[in-house]
Structure formats: C-alpha cells, structure tokens
Amino acid sequence: MVYDSPMNVRFQVVKITVIACLSTCMHVYADTPQTNTAVATTQNDEITNLLENKGLFKQIGGQIAQSTQHLVHVGQSVTQSVGERTSELVSTAIGFLGVPYRFGGNTAESGFDCSGFVRSVFKDAVGFVLPRSSVEQANATLRIDKDELKAGDLVFFNTMKRAFSHVGVYLGEGKFIHSPRAGGQVRVEDMRVPYWNVRFDGARRVQTAALQTSQKPE
C-alpha cells in the first residue's frame, strides 16, 4: 500500500479547493444553463472521485456518525437530568406537607411563609437559592405562559391586592403546593378553582442554565 506524503496530502486539499472554486466561477460565468450543468457535473465528479480514492468519504461519514451519537447522548443526559431535578423539586415540596405557616418563616422547624417555602424547596432540592420575597422571585425567573406550565415551575397569585403577593410550586394537572396563610399549613390545591383562578398572576420558570450550574449544599 502506498501512502501519500504530508506534502502530497496538502496538495490534494489545495486541489480540491481550487476545483471547487473553479466550479463555482464557471457556474456563475458560463454562457448557457446547459453549459452550467455540464461544468458543474464534471467538476463534482472529479471531487467525488478524489474523495473516494483517498478514503475520505468513509472517514467523514464516521465522524458524522460519532457526532450524531454524541448529540443523542447529550440530549438523553439533559432530559434525564431535567427529569431528576423535577422529581427532586416535587418530592422535596411534598415532604413539607403539614408544616405550619409562619410569616417570615424560612425552615420546616420554624414554619414557612409562601416565598420562604418556595425558597427552601429549591435550596434543598437542587441547591439553588432564590430571592427571599415572592415579588423578587417573580422578577428573577423566566416568564412563561400558563399553558407551558410543568412540574417544578412557579405560580403566582394576587391575594393582597398587589401583583405577585403569593407564590407556590406547580405539581402538574392544575395542582400546586404552597404555604397559604396564617393558621394554615403547607398543602396542595387546585389552581383551577374560582378563588385561585381569578387571582392567578403569572407563571415563572427557574432557568435551566441556572439549575445546571447549581449544586446541592454539602
């Protein structure tokens, strides 16, 4: 078997480039459409033959296949990762069921207010620290439409005649979990019932990039 020297390989690469340029130029300046087609076909055949002779088609095909497999693997990893985070968020939120409401509360031991509950869920589940108040949480997260809601997203309500005065974590199928009010406990409710439906104030999502770079606290 005869191997090309590096110099010869570089010459062939230059040759391919020149042929491609000539093909383009001839295509632009040829007198008739028939001439364009004939020239383009001839030059394409030369390039194809050269690539086949050097085994470059096989090499390029292998690289494309490897790249495709890599992209599929990355896509599966991201999907699995997002699913795991969603599961963590939901399971952590459910784990706080029954914790009593406390204005300004940040922990399960002391009790939660609405934003303190959401903040603790994200911190404990995915190690991501949201701002403290519900208004700040709304401003720091990505706005989404109501029909885009997925488990783990935030839902906001106007319960005190001001925007984003209440917040909870969406669970799916119209349900959300929250710390409701003084005398209440963390519980699951249906946001489609009239009380919550008319007070719905928007949906937000904690950006994926932020979650991907966050880590659980040790």
Catalytic residues: 114, 166, 178
Output phi, psi for 42, to 5 deg.
-60, -50
Q: In what order do the strands lie in the sheet with 175-178?
A: 142-144, 200-205, 154-157, 166-172, 175-178, 187-190
Say which residue the tokens 């002391």 belong to. Answer: 110
Query: Do residues 44 and 145 both lie within one domain?
Result: no
Query: Do residues 97 and 139 both lie within one domain?
Result: yes
Task: Give pLDDT, residue 113.
Answer: 98
User: For each successive 10 residues of the chain (218 residues), what is the average pLDDT?
Assistant: 45 43 41 49 60 57 50 43 79 97 96 98 95 97 96 97 96 97 97 98 82 45
Both tokens of 115, joined, read: 């934003």
Query: Do residues 41 and 104 both lie within one domain?
Result: no
Q: Which helix (H) or strand (E) covers residue 134, if one does?
A: helix 134-139
Task: Give pLDDT, residue 85.
Answer: 79
The boundaries of the domain holding residue 139 are 78-213
Distance CA 19, CA 14 (A): 9
Query: Do residues 48 and 136 both lie within one domain?
Result: no
Distance CA 151, CA 47 (A): 53
Query: Do residues 38 and 140 both lie within one domain?
Result: no
| Residue 37 included in any domain | yes
Distance CA 214, CA 209 (A): 9
Task: Give pLDDT, residue 152.
Answer: 96
| Residue 147 included in any domain | yes
| Residue 161 included in any domain | yes
Task: Give pLDDT, residue 207.
Answer: 86
Sort residue 47 into left (φ over 0), alpha (ψ -120 to 50) or beta: alpha
| Residue 61 included in any domain | no
Q: How many domains in the chain?
A: 2
Task: Give pLDDT, residue 70.
Answer: 45
